[in-house]
Amino acid sequence: MKNILLVLLIALALSLCNLSERFKKGSSSSSGPTGSGGSSRSVEPAKPTAEQTAALAGGSDVKWDKQGLSWTIPPGWTEETNESKTFVMRSPGGGNAASLIVSISPMDADFPADPQPWFQQAESRAKNGEVDEVKWLEIDGLKGVQFREANPEHPDGPRRLQWMAYRKYTGQLQLVNVMLASEGKDFERHKNAMYGILYSMKVAH
């Protein structure tokens, strides 16, 4: 599982580099969830199902004080990383575990903080069969893009549920990137807990 975590973190870093360039090029032609340059889908509030809420029963609130973020985590999850820009937790289960991986990326003050290109990229991936869920999602007052990858070709390959948004925090423009992941063969088993964790997030902004 540690190897998978490393792969996910590397993939996350590479995707952020690629997306930054895409956003700079594409932001001028889009204007958000209902803008003329992109999808007209409305923003949905994060509402966990009864099953997703039940998956957190008996858990605890975990705070990432360095970035003013917190989640409700099911019993048995342990902290792996708590740094200024990266926070990682992992469920019990060894190689069959699920992970919460959160990354904060500081941006220049004049960076075009438009999430529309993420949505467009996720929709393109959905057309190619790489993604099976795309939506605008508001979590604790912060609007972002949620997408879920389709089952990987190999059962032990990673499958990710991801949400990305911009915020201003302590005077700094930031990209907040929240990823929940497991091996493809274990995703359904962890799915309710992963959605429950994501939808429980509290965001200082």
Domain ranges for the chain, please list them. Answer: 2-203
pTM as predicted:
0.85
Burial (Cβ within 10 Å: 0-12, 13-18, ≥19) of residue 171: exposed
pLDDT of residue 26: 44
Q: Do the Cβ atoms of 70 and 56 come closer than 8 Å?
A: no
The tens place of each residue's pLDDT in the chain, 205 residues long, gives: 555 554 454 445 445 445 444 444 444 444 445 433 345 579 999 999 999 999 999 999 999 999 999 999 999 999 999 999 999 999 998 889 999 999 999 999 999 999 999 999 999 999 999 999 999 999 999 999 999 999 999 999 999 999 999 999 999 999 999 999 999 999 999 999 999 999 999 999 7
Q: What is the largest CA-CA distance in the chain?
A: 47
Distance (Å, whole) CA 192 – CA 194:
5
Q: At what angle do helices 116-127 and 2-26 cross, to 10 degrees?
A: 120
pLDDT of residue 95: 82
Nearest-CA neighbor of 100 among 127, 80, 83? Answer: 80
Q: Do the Cβ atoms of 100 and 111 come closer than 8 Å?
A: no
Query: What type of residue sits at position 14?
Result: L
pLDDT of residue 8: 52
Domain covering 2-203, topology: Protein Transport Mog1p; Chain A (3.40.1000)
pLDDT of residue 40: 56
pLDDT of residue 58: 97
Q: Which residues contact 98 (CB under 8 A, 6 or more apart)?
A: 90, 91, 180, 181, 182, 186, 190, 193, 194
